[in-house]
Amino acid sequence: MCGRYSQRFSAGTKVPGIDCDLPAMNPRYNTCPTQQGIIVRLNEAGEQYASLATWWFLPEWMKDPSKGQINARGETIEKKPMFRDAFRHARCLVLMDGFTEWDRSVKPSQPYFFHRKDDEGFATAGIWANRQKEDGTEELNYAVITTGPNKPMEPIHDRMPVILNERDFKTWLDPKTDIETLKSLLVPCPDDLLVAHPISRLINRPANDTPDLLRPE
């Protein structure tokens, strides 16, 4: 699973493999469900473009907002009624530069921050939907797709986000890509891509959002 992540992006930030400008936003160290993140899709010309969206996937036909989801399991995404249409027709990249997972074998649970060795941004596989809110406005929302753990993740948690290789961005976003090829991308990232360190339990509170949260304990 992925329950918190960081977006320490500032104006002009370049994420490897992303060919478009990012929308302006303040750096985020503790992005939580129902808050906004940056997703990348393709326009009609096949070009990447980035948008702010709400991390709470809720298709238009689902009437109860409380039933939104932040993650979709890659192993079953093409079969689940909530996700299957978006998996086929509304895929995106979710941009982040790290995520938090909790070791629940200790009490209280110990959060760990996972990030690239070079601390650059990366993209996870995602799906998106548009939904009309009660006030009549449209809300773009998304979910992060997860898979089983790689070796560094195994001691901490049994799920992790699908971190896509830059060479696969085009394939993932291409509306013509077949289901079998898409499914082949939903695997753990290489063991040497990420590093992790324990961080403060203050990250458990959604209201906390400062750089100190991600410093090694």
- DSSP states along 171-214: HHH-TT--HHHHHHT-SPPPTTSEEEEE--GGGGSTT--SGGGG
Of the listed 92, 101, 134, 166, which one is catalytic?
A: 101
C-alpha span between 118 and 96 (Å, rounded): 13
C-alpha span between 75 and 213 (Å, rounded): 32
pLDDT (0 to 100) of residue 1: 65
C-alpha span between 99 and 188 (Å, rounded): 14
Is residue 101 annotated as part of the catalytic site, yes or no? Answer: yes
pLDDT (0 to 100) of residue 12: 67
For the question of whether the overall pTM of this predicted structure is more than 0.75, the answer is yes
pLDDT (0 to 100) of residue 122: 97
Q: What is the pLDDT along the chain (217 residues), one digit of tens a residue?
A: 679 999 998 656 788 999 999 998 899 999 999 999 999 999 999 999 999 999 999 999 998 989 999 999 999 999 999 999 999 999 999 999 999 999 999 999 999 999 999 999 999 999 999 988 778 788 999 999 999 999 999 999 999 999 999 999 999 999 999 999 999 999 999 999 999 999 999 999 999 999 999 999 8
pLDDT (0 to 100) of residue 206: 96
Domains, in order of start, for the chain: 4-214 (3.90.1680.10)
Is residue 20 annotated as part of the catalytic site, yes or no? Answer: no
pLDDT (0 to 100) of residue 154: 95
In the structure encoding, which two tokens stand for residue 115, read together?
């990030």
C-alpha span between 12 and 1 (Å, rounded): 30
pLDDT (0 to 100) of residue 133: 76
pLDDT (0 to 100) of residue 35: 96
- Burial bucket for residue 194 (CB in 10 Å: 0-12, 13-18, 19+): buried
